Structure formats: C-alpha cells, structure tokens
Chain A
C-alpha cells in the first residue's frame, strides 16, 4: 500500500501535510508521535474511515496494489473488506461471539453454507488466539468477555473477511499489561499473513512489535525507516528528542 503527498483537511484546518509512506506486506509498520500529531487521522485515510466525518477532505494518492482507493470507481465497501480495522476501545457488537465473527463474512457473502461459516469462525478465532478460551461459549454475548478478549475478538472479526491490510488504532491503550502482551504476541504471529499498521503512544510497544516506524509531528511525517534505526540512530533531531523523552 503506497501513499503519495497526502493532505487531510478538517474544514479549514490542515491535519496532515504531504505524507508519503509505503506499507509493505511482510512488515508491521508503527506510527508514533505525540497526541494530536495526525497519526490516527492518517491511519483512517487508509480505509477511508474519514468518509464518515462530513468536513474531512483527503487529497493526494493512496493506492492499494496499484488501485487508487479514492478513485470514484472504488467501492468503499470492497475496500474496507480488504483493509480491516481494529479500534482503540474494543467494540464488539452486542451479539454472540459467533455472530460477531460471522458478521463480515455474512455481509460480504463469503460463506455459502453453515459449515463453511463455522469453519471461517473457527479459523479466525484460532488465528486470533481466542479459540481455546471461547470455543465452548460461542453463543455468549461478545460484550461479556474481558477487555483483552474483546480486543482479540475484534481482531478475529477483522481477520474473518480475509483482508490484505489490518489497521490498528492504539489497540492496547484500553488494556492491562497482560492483555497487551497477548495482543503484541498475536501481532507477531499475524505478521507476514497481513500487512499490519499500528498506531501507538507507547514507544516500547512500537520497538517491540514493528519492523518499520514512522514518526509524525504536527501533521507532517518527520522520519520513516527501519524501526531499529529510528530508535537507536534517528537522523532527525525531533525524532531523537521524542524518543529520548525530551518532549511529547
């Protein structure tokens, strides 16, 4: 997935200025930066979730396997099936665990029979590392799970439609350290199967889970490179200041 010269405006205010990033399939890419730097806004451009905000306007090129995702002929429904998203706060639907996972496959018509659907649900939950914990209570409400389980349920829900890219918007910020560790472990396991983009406030987390890191500041992309370089030997002074905790 590539982006070139992307600008985002909220009404008159420019939230993102001229950002160009390539997201590759075999890497986990982390977006870091201080609050309000535009990293979440930029993430939401990648599956056009900014469309739901009437005053938001996006310019520049964002392509997924060569297709312009903002082209008029691009169906946003198809796009979001290919680019899944996990949110900051776990947001399972008030339905059973099974129905939560089956939601995407059902709307996209991915399963032609009950067995096939059962199969998708099982593999998705297994990939999300949740199967062992919930296999006996698939009909219980998804909202009855613990916070960490809910977030893994949301990841499983995103996986169920077999996307190419998964966007994670601070997926651990509402979770305790143990649940966070499980999500990070899960991200490791999913790497290579999906391109993963994760927005995080937690620099250690970015260092732990990602191979590429992009540092945003005031709507601009300050630096983008291999994670170990960014954390040990950043080229920009701003990045160094942020990473060493001098500000932000």
Chain B
C-alpha cells in the first residue's frame, strides 16, 4: 500500500466518522426537542468526529515521513553487510544514497557493488518502517475517531470548535505566503553575507567596473562594481519606460474615464487589461526582433554613434508599453475615486472639461497616480525577460539610449545559468544583486501602498 492510497483511506475513514458522528447527533437531537438543548446542528457533530479521526493521523504521518529516513538508515546500518562500508563519510554517503534509491525503486542498477549489498537491508528496513507507520496511522484514525465520537453529547459546543479549526486552517494558508517571503529574504541575506565576506560591500555598491571574475586580478580588483548595473536598471526601468508609460497611461486613463462613450470604454478597457496579461517573453522578442533593429537603423540613418542592435531604448520603450496598463488602471481608479461633487463644482464654475481635469481631477487624484507609478517602477526594475532579450550584456555607463546597457536582472540570469559552482563570488554576486533588487522593490511598494492608502482615507 503506497502513501497516496493510505491518504485516501484515511480520508474515506474520515467520511465514515463524519457519518457516525452525524447519526449519533441526529439521534440525540431527536430526543431533545427543546430549543437550545442541543448546542450544535448534527452536521457540526459529524465534522467534529471527522476532524478527530483525520487530524491526528495526518499530523502523525507528516512527522513520521520526516523522521523515518533517519530511522531506516540506522536500521540498515545494523545489518552485517554494513560492516564492509568504507569509513570515509563522503564515499559512505554516496553508497548509502545509491542503495536507498535502488531499494525504493527509483534506480535499477548499482554502479558500486557495495551498494548492491546494502540494497537488501534497506529494503527490509523500508518495508518494516512503512508498515509500522501505516498501522500506527490507521490505529490513530480509529482511536481518535472513537474518542471524538464518545465525546459527542447534546451540550458539546461542536459548532464553536469547528469554527476555531476553520480559523486555524485559514491562518495557516495565509502564513504560507508570508513565511515563504520571509524565507526567501533570509536565504538572500545569508548568501549575500557569504558574498560580502569575499568582496567588500563598498566595492560592490560603489564600484564602476562590472566584469565578474572568479579570482581577483593582479591589483586585487574583482570586477564586482555594480554601479553600471544599477544605472542600466534605472535608465531602462525608471527613466525610459516611465517616459513612455506615464504620459500614455495617464492620458488613456483620462480619455477612458472622462471622454470615452460607455460602449467604447466597455471594450477598450478589457483590451488594455489584456496587455497586462501578455507574457513578458512575448514582449521580449518583440523588443529584440522588431523594435531594436528598427531603432538601430534609425539611429544609424541620423548619424548617432554607438548605436547597437541591443539598446536601452528598445528595451525601455517596450517595457514602457508593457507598464501602460498598470499606470492607466491605477490612474483610472484614482480619477474615478475623486468625488463627482468635485467635478460638478468645477463645471458649475464654468470650467471646461479639460480645465476641470487639469486643475481639479488630476491634482485630487495625484497621490493615487503617484502610487500607481511607483508600483509600475518597482515592476519595471524587477522585469527580466525583456531586458535579457533586448538590452544586452555590456555593462556600459552611458546616457546614450541607442547603446547597449545591462541591468541587475540580466546579470543575475547570466551569473546563474549554465554550470556554476555555488561557492564562488561570481555566483554569489547574483544573490547580492537579488538582495539589492528585493530591498529596492520592497521599499517602492511600501511607499506606494502608503501613499495610496493615505489618499483613500482623505476621501472616505
């Protein structure tokens, strides 16, 4: 019997427990007709028994699955075959791992004859512990289910207890996302700390030469100066992309909220939102194959030097287009949130529509728009696919939009793809870059949310 069948069996037993609990509760509900004599509906009593039956057993299986591999190995090592194993921990570990995967059926043939000899003890140990776990889990189902069933009585507050379990379940679900974020952050910090023990943070944050090497050069230079990457990121994500996205997004929001006839808005808005759902890799090859060559030809034809087929402008413009829906939908929301009394007040003063928009609506909606723009910036600087495909790899410090620049995300991809050893500064640099990116986007998001929230309060 495999784990999944056991799991199904426990669930089925839980269903049966539910049924028994319900039957018992229905019976005493029928006997106690007086209002309030039975605290909860039979259904809740059913759930109460079912949770008693399933909960402890599943919890036990979870712990058992974590603990049993160590127990299995210990048991296998007590076999006579284990006497011949080498003392060296590395070789020993490799043999044991091989034996174990053969025993559990993930591997067919052993490379090392010693492993073959360990397969049999492993197989016995695995089946022994598996059976043990199963029997214990099933016993738990019956024992705890019976315990829950015996506790059923008219005045049991089953409904309140189920409510509490539901709350805990929801709390657990919400914690998973939070804990994952914290976990990612902590692992970034640890790996970055390892990196900064090899490369000075000052060199990293303020150095202007990016040419990562695994070993330091003759003058001790390491080539981990990240300024060109930060510049490239800001240049593409916060400057060029925003020059494209802010005016276009804002103006389209104004048109859609203030001027567009309702039926035009009804199909225009969804189209704009579809733009936000286009996979970034599609934007990426649009940037690399269509926009970038066109821009290079244009730059060459008007005689701009240093034009390259991978340019900051191509990546930035396409990223700006990608960001338009974000800016536009945030601006749309915040313009729509300005009370219509404000608009009427201005119109009643004899202001035209565009004067009203310019002098009253936009200033009133500004905090919301700024929040939207900050969120858009934080998205743009974390964006990867477009810049990998269209911005290039050369770490140039240049303000010429037609030349190639590189960004933090591009370099992370470059550092971590392919065969890499995970303890060289070259690879660890990716974590340090990731940490910087994480902190910057986190700050931008915090500021943006604060701004948006403050603005919402002002009108509610």
Contact = CB atoms under 8 A, between A and B. Distances in A.
Interface of A: 47, 49, 52, 54, 76-81, 84-85, 87, 89, 91-95, 103-104, 107-108, 154, 157-158, 161
A92 to B, nearest CB: 8
- Interface of A, secondary structure class, is helix
Contacts of A157: 345, 349
A197 to B, nearest CB: 13
Contact of B364 (A79, A80, A94): A94
A93 B348 contact: no
B364 A104 contact: no
A103 B346 CA distance: 9
Most chain A CB within 10 A, of B262, B344, B364, is at: B344
Contacts of A76: 350
B365 to A, nearest CB: 10
Interface string B320-346: 000000000000000000010111111
Contacts of A78: 350
A95 B363 contact: yes
29 contacts: A47-B348, A49-B344, A52-B343, A76-B350, A77-B351, A77-B352, A80-B347, A80-B349, A81-B350, A87-B341, A87-B345, A91-B339, A91-B344, A91-B345, A93-B342, A93-B359, A93-B360, A93-B363, A94-B342, A94-B364, A94-B458, A103-B351, A103-B359, A104-B349, A104-B350, A107-B352, A107-B359, A157-B349, A161-B349
Contacts of A161: 349-350
A90 to B, nearest CB: 9
Given A93-B360, A93-B364, A94-B363, A107 B344 contact: no
A27 B343 CA distance: 29
B355 interface: yes
A154 B344 CA distance: 12
Give the residue among B347, B350, B355, B359 with the most A Cβ atoms within 10 A: B350
B interface, over-half SS: helix
B341 A158 contact: no
A93 B346 contact: yes
Contact of A91 (B341, B355, B363): B341
B363 A107 contact: no
A84 to B, nearest CB: 7
Given A93-B360, A94-B364, A95-B363, A87 B344 contact: yes
* Shortest beta-carbon contacts, A-B, top 8: A80-B350, A91-B341, A85-B348, A81-B350, A91-B345, A104-B349, A77-B350, A94-B364
A125 to B, nearest CB: 16
A52 B344 contact: yes
Contacts of A81: 349-350
Contact of A89 (B341, B346, B458): B341
A157 B349 CA distance: 8
Most A Cβ at <10 Å: residue of B342, B349, B359, B458 = B349
A109 B339 CA distance: 26
A201 B257 CA distance: 33
A84 B355 CA distance: 17
Nearest to B261: A54
Contacts of A49: 344, 347-348
Contacts of A79: 350
A31 B112 CA distance: 101
Nearest to A47: B348
A154 B345 contact: yes
B350 A107 contact: yes
A157 B347 CA distance: 13
Contacts of B352: 77, 107
Contacts of B345: 87, 91-93, 154, 157
B341 A107 contact: no
A111 to B, nearest CB: 15
A157 B345 CA distance: 10
Interface in B347-386: 347-352, 355, 359-360, 363-364
Nearest to A106: B359
A57 to B, nearest CB: 16
A226 to B, nearest CB: 29
Contacts of B355: 107
Contacts of B360: 93
Contacts of B342: 91, 93-94
Contacts of A89: 341
A154 B346 CA distance: 11
Given A91-B341, A92-B345, 20 more contacts: A49-B344, A52-B344, A76-B350, A77-B350, A78-B350, A80-B349, A87-B345, A91-B339, A93-B359, A94-B363, A94-B364, A94-B458, A103-B349, A107-B350, A107-B351, A107-B352, A107-B359, A157-B345, A157-B349, A161-B350
